[in-house]
Amino acid sequence: QVQLVESGGGLVQAGGSLRFSCVASVRTYDMGWFRHAPGKERQFVGCTWWSGGSTNYGDSVKGRFTISRDNAKNTVYLQMNSLKPEDKAVYYCAAQNNPTNMCGTSILSYGAWGQGTQVTVSS
């Protein structure tokens, strides 16, 4: 079973930047990022397709967040710029263990999850 270990996150002022890393124990296919804020459902942040590296982002983070991956290191990154207080949440990386035609935006598309890492943005 794939194990995912996240690092990064923390506390930042509004307008600042943070970067997450997510290392998988084995090679994976699609990789995604989700976030969960108190009182809200887990929200799609973005994903990267296993073949060719195409990406897709949620509307609330488009133009501010960037996903990249290093397949040689089984690692996916989430660069978060221009952070806003509403970006405060626990962030999770996720992995799809089967090849797809495009990375999914639903939590049901992923079978393995990281431990979650808190991001707090002060205004």
Residue 71 to residue 93: CA distance in whole angstroms: 15
The answer to whether residue 67 scores a pLDDT higher than 90 is yes
- Arithmetic mean of pLDDT, 79-91: 97
Each residue's pLDDT tens digit, 13-41: 999 999 999 999 999 999 999 999 999 99
- Nearest CA-CA partner of 87 in 116, 57, 119: 119
